[in-house]
Amino acid sequence: MAGGERIPGTPRYRHHLLKNPGTEPFFPNFLLKEWIAGAIFLTAFMLWIVFNPVPLGSKANPDDTSFIPVPDWYFLFLYQLLKYYPGSAIVFGTVLVPLAASLILIFTPWLDVKKARHPYKRPLATGGMVLVTFLTIWLTNEAWIQHKAELASSGGGAVTTALPKVPKIPKSQIHLIDTNMPGYQVFESTCATCHGSSGEGVIGPPIYAIGKYWNEKQLTDFVTKGGGGMPAKGGLTNAKQLQEVLDWLSKQKG
């Protein structure tokens, strides 16, 4: 410190109390800078979320056995890490590896006591950080790639084994459209026994707005295979009648 000048950022009322004027106090100088940087990042992150909202997935359905669970993106690297410890070795991935990483992070101030700040002068700390960053990005990417492959092999996760839960409302509030289509005539003489003449649900679930929840392909796959107590093809043996019903149901969006 040349000419007795004050260190930038050092409070004047504490400057004369410093035993070593060549250093900067942690509180409040350094900590205040960290708080400001954190506040800027948090504000930017919240604005990003506000203007780029993440859509919610489908509602939880215990009858859907084709659903492939996956954690949020910031936990994907841990999710992927567990895949490398199958069976009884899972304790390494769930306990030992995270514990070792946490302990190293906690004791870093005592393990790395060098005063130099330049990354080139701290090869162990710099190398460790680069390695951790690379592994986190790589494991996250691997988890996402494998998850997409699993969805593709299971039909894209679009076909479920149960009808989506259409809200049950009074029959008087249901207004079906295109009831002059041949599909409605077939529906009324067959499917209405379980689902009601207005699709309000009797023995079977409500389907008056099924077209709002499922597209034509999803509906066709489910009805063709059957499930949830409904026989394959809804019990229809005539392919033309089945297609007429599907065409009509896909138009019902509530």
**Structural domains of the chain, count:** 3
Task: Read off the pLDDT of residues 61-84 as tens digits, 9 standing for 90 and up.
Answer: 666 666 778 888 889 998 898 888
Last residue in a domain, options 156, 191, 226: 156
**Residue 219, in any domain of the structure:** yes
Amino acid at position 220, single letter: T
**Residue 164, in any domain of the structure:** no
Distance CA 165, CA 183 (A): 22
Per-residue pLDDT, averaged over 101-125, amounts to: 85
DSSP bridge partners of 229: none
Range of the structural domain that residue 102 is part of: 66-156
Task: Read off the pLDDT of residues 179-234 as tens digits, 9 standing for 90 and up.
Answer: 888 888 888 888 888 888 888 888 878 888 888 888 888 888 888 887 767 778 87
Last residue in a domain, options 101, 129, 156: 156
pLDDT surpassing 80 at residue 101:
yes
**Residue 1, in any domain of the structure:** no
Q: Do 131 and 85 lie in a common domain?
A: yes
Amino acid at position 55, single letter: P
Per-residue pLDDT, averaged over 102-114, amounts to: 85
Distance CA 51, CA 209 (A): 31
Distance CA 105, CA 129 (A): 11
Last residue in a domain, options 34, 54, 74: 54
Total length of the chain: 254
pTM of the model: 0.46
